[in-house]
Amino acid sequence: MRSNEFSIFAAPDFVELSESPSLTIDLRYATSNNFLGRNLYGEFNRAYLHKIAAGKLEKAIVALRQIKPAYKFIIFDVLRPRSVQYVLWDAVKNTEQQTYIADPAIGSIHNFGMAVDLSILDESGKELDMGTPFDDFTLLAQPKLEDKFLREGRLSEAQIGNRLLLRRVMEDAGFIQLPHEWWHFDALPHAEVRGKHLMIE
């Protein structure tokens, strides 16, 4: 996938994220720690975002630092080439998990570098308990069902509180929460992204 990397270098709208005291990068699809159990990114193992999304992420970092100075973000996925999207889609097509993977025919917002999957680490470097792990393709992962699962005791107030903290700082920075994944945030509405911006193949 090295050609994808070259195309990003040639595109001034993309920036590379770097680790910092406020940001840890753990690209799950560049490891075997993902729902397919294998490295899907190969040589393309660096974290890029469109500059619009990167600017909003910086605002979210500042907002989180103001609320919880010892907390930091952990990035699970950012720009995802569409070639990887096809692999993910083929794995879930015609299954119950299909809801969680965008059809590569239209492209995921990740394919434009306009989406970020992330969570929060506490002062000891431990991920906050969000009720499910990243890429948990069950109803428990869906923000739109949180009230129901809280009433049923399947999510705790602490878990919901952690999700609300993540949602607060991301939405205050201008991101849009995906209704069925607590970890996924888009920098712009889907129609705007797909109509105006470059998809990385």
CB 60 within 8 A of CB 185: no
Domains of the chain: 2-196 (3.30.1380.10)
* Residue range 17-34: mean pLDDT, rounded: 96
Q: In the structure encoding, which two tokens stand for residue 108, read together?
A: 């995921």
Tens digits of residue pLDDT in 34-61: 999 999 998 778 899 999 999 999 999 9
List all residues 6 or more positions away from 182 whose beta carbon is below 8 Å from its beta carbon: 130, 131, 132, 141, 142, 143, 163, 166, 167
User: Model pTM?
Assistant: 0.93
The number of C-alpha atoms within 13 Å of 127 and in the hemisphere containing its C-beta is 16
The 10s digit of each residue's pLDDT in 175-196 is: 999 999 999 999 999 999 998 8
Beta partners for residue 177, in sequence order: 185
When the pLDDT of each residue in the chain is averaged and rounded to a whole number, the result is 92
User: What does the pLDDT read at residue 201?
Assistant: 85
Polymer length of the chain: 201
